[in-house]
Amino acid sequence: MTSLQHVSCKVKGIRVSAQTKLQSLAAHVTQDIKMGAEKPFQEVIDVSAGDPHRAGIKPLSFVRQVLAVCLYPQLLGDSNLPEDVRQRALRMLDACDGGSLGSYTASSGMLYCKQSISEFITRRDGVPSNPSDVFIPAGSERALMIILKLLSNDGDGRPPTGVLTPLPCPHTLPVLLDEAQVTLVPFHLSEERGWAVDLDELHRALKAARGHCEPRAIYISNPGNPTGHVQDRQSIEEVIQFAASERLLLLVDEVYQDCVYGHGNKFISYKKTLLEMNREFLDTVELFSFHSLAGAYTAECGLRAGYIEAFNMDPKLKYYLDNMLCGDLTTPVTGQLALDLMLNPPTAGDASYDTHIQETVSIRATLCRNAQQGHELLNDLPGMSCQPAAGGIYLYPRLDLPSGFTKQAQILEIGADVLYCQRFLEEEGVCVGAGQDSGAAGNHHLRLCFFVSSETFDVVLARLSSFHLHIMSESKLFGT
């Protein structure tokens, strides 16, 4: 069977997301194809989540060349490699114990990499960053999980910890909160304002939460995942002021900070904004910001590394953070070094500079082109509308589905957007993500990653257009 309703919804008390169910179905369909089943497509295209290299985006040459030399130092003698590649590899090997990537590192990350991250933040924001405030877990999700576990009140007799969380949010976040035994306190982003943060909605969500949990933090992704919204300075200041007045810790996911391309939009970090505000906020707001290899043009998802920068962290919390990392598995050394390569690419005059610029410009052009093409096509389809993506790697279109379709979903006891995704996958071989509202107040959305090759994205859009028009005409045919 391939139907989603046959997939269990609970594993050890943790919710199984629509994304997990759809990917399970995608794996089942793929297996059917391998077993010889006749399908109108030869393979499943997965654009439900970001995995750019799998989707046809080529790795950056400089990153792979340096890592290759670090893993196999005999390549240092290869004159075909650019000189700056060999020099960077030498510095990295010198920073590794025993001159080898096979050595352990400090649990919170190699000092070489922490200093490199700190220098990047200082350049980006124009304000100092201290390497002792930087921690390198195995990806941004692992970083967030560590902080959430430190915040959790589980088992101490107090109400559960609550984290104000935007809807929509990264599709992995609700499960992450469940695993950390932290309560998701939803606040809805304003779709009509391009998925902007609404201050009144933040106050409403906080008031509604008190009494059944203890709100202790607010999570923000900027640029937005999956909305593509990029916050301006005024919006960031409002969130900081809100966090200060309500004594909430700020958890800011800035993974897509390099992926901003909307006209007039610019990434501004929360730390830079905080440091330029009144002293009262500087002294009272605790901030954790996150970045990752998976989010930038580097797109090295499988190398599993990210960083946390803590600002105004309580010394006791810092002590426990160090101890939790000490009890964790060390982040892979290849991932740590790749962070340095992502944040400190070749500069003008380096042998690899021209190639690196050409590759990153090509990736940026692909992202801009796909975002624009997708936005235009989705808004041209009947019963579909989509806000433009100013940043990030997703489009998040709204579905206005016929009543007959939504009734069918109700009978199957699944969200109409989930049913839409299931049928699209089974009939057209494309896996897209379902929205997180599950049809609340009649809302249905799709999550569509456009960080893929242009050729792949064109195929996805063509199949989506054909499928959607079929769904709409099918409903008219049966008078629904």
Amino acid of residue 229: H
> What was the pLDDT predicted at 297?
86
Does pLDDT of 126 surpass 70?
A: yes
State phi, psi for 158 to the nearest 5 degrees. -90, 165
DSSP characters over 78-147: -TTS-HHHHHHHHHHHHHSGGG-TTS---TT--HHHHHHHHHHHHHHHSS---GGGEE--SSHHHHHHHH
Q: Identify whether residues 51 and 181 lie together within a single domain.
A: no
The domain that holds 455 is classified in CATH as 3.90.1150.10
**Domains: count for the chain:** 2
Residue of 446, 436, 409 lying closest to 175 (CA atoms): 436
CA distance 228 to 168: 11
173/304 same-domain check? yes
Residue 111's CATH number: 3.40.640.10
Would the pLDDT of 190 be above 90?
yes
Q: Write out pLDDT tens, residues 8-57.
A: 343 344 445 788 889 899 999 999 999 999 899 999 999 999 899 988 89
Cβ-contact 407, 394 below 8 angstroms: no
Query: Which pTM was predicted?
Result: 0.92
On whether residue 202 sits in a domain, the answer given is yes
What phi, psi does 137 have (nearest 5°)?
A: -85, 180
Going by pLDDT thresholds of 50, 70 and 90, the confidence category of residue 279 is confident
137 and 254 housed in the same domain: yes
Q: Is residue 336 part of a domain?
A: yes
In a domain, 72, yes or no: no
Q: Could you tell me whether strands 433-434 and 183-188 are parallel, antiparallel, or unpaired per DSSP bridges?
A: unpaired
Phi, psi of 45 (to 5 degrees): -100, 120
Q: Is the peptide bond before 397 cis (omega within 30 degrees of 0)?
A: no
The Cα 58–Cα 332 span in angstroms is 22
Q: Is residue 460 part of a domain?
A: yes
Alpha helices in 180-311 (DSSP H): 199-209, 233-246, 270-275, 279-284
Determine how many CB atoms are found less than 10 A away from the CB of residue 355. 16
Structure tokens at 243: 């966090």
Q: Is residue 472 part of a domain?
A: yes
80: in domain: no
Structure tokens at 228: 């593509």
CA distance 164 to 202: 8
Residue 95 resides in a domain: no
* 331, 369: one domain: no
Work out the angle between the directed axes of helices 403-412 and 416-428 (0-180°, nearest 10).
90
Per-residue pLDDT tens digits for 166-185: 999 999 999 999 999 999 99
pLDDT score, position 6: 35
Amino acid identity, position 479: G
Q: Same structural domain for residues 335 and 364?
A: no
The DSSP element (H or E) to which 259 belongs, if any, is: none
Same domain, 362 and 452: yes
Sheet holding 306-311, edge to edge: 134-135, 306-311, 287-292, 249-253, 214-221, 161-167, 183-188
Establish if 352 belongs to a structural domain. Answer: no
Percentage of the chain modeled with pLDDT above 70:
92
Orientation angle between helical segments 83-95 and 111-125, nearest 10 degrees: 120
What pLDDT, in 10s, does the model give residues 382-423? Answer: 999 999 999 999 999 999 999 889 899 999 999 999 999 999
Task: Identify whether residues 383 and 328 lie together within a single domain.
Answer: no
Q: Please, how many CA atoms are within 13 Å of residue 466, restricted to the half-sphere of its CB? A: 12
pLDDT level of residue 155 (50, 70, 90 thresholds)? low
- Which token pair is 445? 């959305």
Q: How far apart are CA 175 and CA 118, in angstroms?
A: 31
Q: Are residues 148 and 292 both part of a single domain?
A: yes
Structural domain boundaries enclosing 471? 4-56+358-477
